[in-house]
Amino acid sequence: MPQKKQKFTLMVLIIITGVVILYAYSIFARKPKLPHLEQAQLKEEIQKEEQVIPVRAFKVTKIDFVDTFPSMGTVKGVSEVNLKFESTGIIEAINFKVGDIVKKGEVIAALNQKEAQLNIEYNKSKLKTAQAEMQAGKKKLEVYQKLYEAGSIIKAKLDEVSQEYEVAKSKVETSKLEVEHSENELDKTSLFAPIDSVLTSKDAEAGELVNPNIKVATLMDISAVYVEIGITEKDIEKIKLGQSAKVNVDTYPDKDFFGAVDKVFPQIEGRSRTMTVKIKLDNKDMLIKPGMFARASISVYEKEGAILLPTGAIRKKEDAYYVFVVKKEEGKKDTAEQRSIKPGYRTIEYAVIEEGLNDGELVITESQGELKDNSLCEVLEVQGEADEEQKPEEEIKKPSLEEQET
């Protein structure tokens, strides 16, 4: 009995082993053998199973790029002249009001001139008397000269008459100087404009008694003007002497005025924490007046044929920058190609790319999934193309450059 039982158990084990072997063989026979597949076919099969990532892209185009720094400020004159009379007197008239344009040589104000004119007349009268005395002395000298030559008078008498003539001549010269002085005093009763300018302040009125220490008015040269602006500490490095600028004022909303950065003050103001910058404008037509509110745009960077890219498309790994470029091949799905780049000048929104991109390429700016080199992608929208205004059905979160660098 024990031997029969052992034989039966052995037969059962053999049967079970055979069944397992047959089952395993049937599975192995049905499974395709990888070594017989072409490598390209295997890669294609794997890509079919990959996820296609929806993306938005930016079309790279060469443009003439100018970055401007906007600011606001106040118009001021290039030079200022305080007007004072050179003599004491009562103001008879002020011929201009604040804001009037004044030409060089025009009379701004005048003192009462009656006394000065009387003084001129008096000195002219003295001059005529002196000239008459000189003529009489000259004739007398001529007579005495003949008498002396004839031996009728002594030399001492001739010298006496000659001395009288010299004194008369001296009185004439003195009288001429007095007339000239009195005429100058008359000129001092008028305030003349020394330059083409605008009257910016009037500090006295007609009827007031003034002297050389009292300011009557202020003129400002506005043939050229400054727009004075304040630059915060973080923007100081952007501003340089000679940078071109465009200025607009509310009085002429449709007119642009052009100038350049003329002065950059080295000091930071304590309270405002700003640095003063002056933009000089040509103002020959005197349209811009001191005190006007002005909006200025300073050109801080210019480049012809620049390749511009949104900063959100740029990614950083360690010290290297890269982007994903849409790679298109006929008959195949689009893929994302990882490309190293060299960014140059940057703004908040855009960066100028020095190396790594070509005109017309599509750079991925946003994606719905994590991109890797050769990831399959589908472009939902292309920015930078005027003829394409596609609107994706769902929003794609745009990572900031800081988040990408992190």
Which helix (H) or strand (E) covers residue 304, if one does?
A: strand 293-310
Residues in a beta bridge with 180: none
For residue 214, how many other CB atoms are within 10 A of its CB? 14
C-alpha dihedral (260, 263, 265, 271), degrees to nearest 10: -60
Model pLDDT, residue 12 = 65
For residues 14 and 63, the model is more confident at 63
Q: Does domain 71-76+223-301 have CATH number 3.90.1300.10?
A: no
pLDDT at residue 120 in the model: 92
Strand, helix or coil for residue 8: helix
User: Is pLDDT of 197 > 80?
Assistant: yes
The pLDDT confidence band at residue 252, using thresholds 50, 70 and 90, is: very high
Question: What is the domain class of 49-65+304-405 according to CATH?
Answer: mainly beta
**Cα→Cα distances 69→129, 234, 295, 301, Å:** 75, 12, 11, 9
Span 232-249, pLDDT tens digits = 988 888 899 999 999 999
CA distances from 355 to 341, 358, 371 (A): 6, 9, 22
pLDDT number for residue 192: 93
- Distances, alpha carbon 17 to alpha carbons 21, 24, 27, 249, in Å: 6, 11, 16, 99
Mean pLDDT of 272-287: 90
Range list of H helices, 203-260:
none
Residue 195 CB: number of other CB atoms within 10 A? Answer: 15
Domain residue spans in the chain?
Answer: 49-65+304-405, 71-76+223-301, 82-198
How many Å apart are CA 72 and CA 326, to the nearest integer? 42
- Report the run of H or E that residue 177 belongs to, with start and end: helix 155-187
Q: Write out the two tokens for 268.
A: 């930071």
Cα(363)–Cα(145) distance, rounded to whole angstroms?
Answer: 114
Residue 8 predicted with pLDDT over 80: no
Please name which of 292, 310, 232, 224 lies closest in space to residue 259, comparing C-alpha atoms. 224
> Which pTM value belongs to this model?
0.58
Does 400 score more than 60 pLDDT?
no
Among the listed ranges 37-46, 145-154, 225-234, 301-310, which one has the minimum average pLDDT value? 37-46
Q: How far is CA 406 from CA 21, 341, 343, 402, in A?
A: 57, 18, 18, 6
310 is written with which tokens?
Answer: 């949104």
- Looking at this protein, which amino acid is placed at residue 35? P
pLDDT tens sequence across 138-157? 999 899 998 888 888 888 88
Cβ neighbours around 326 below 10 Å, total:
20
Q: What is the pLDDT of residue 296?
A: 95
Cα–Cα distances (Å) from 203 to 63, 120, 208, 361, in that order, read 55, 30, 11, 68
> N- to C-terminal Cα distance for the chain?
81
Residue 176 pLDDT class (50, 70, 90 cuts): very high
What phi and psi values does residue 96 have, to the nearest 5 degrees?
-135, 160
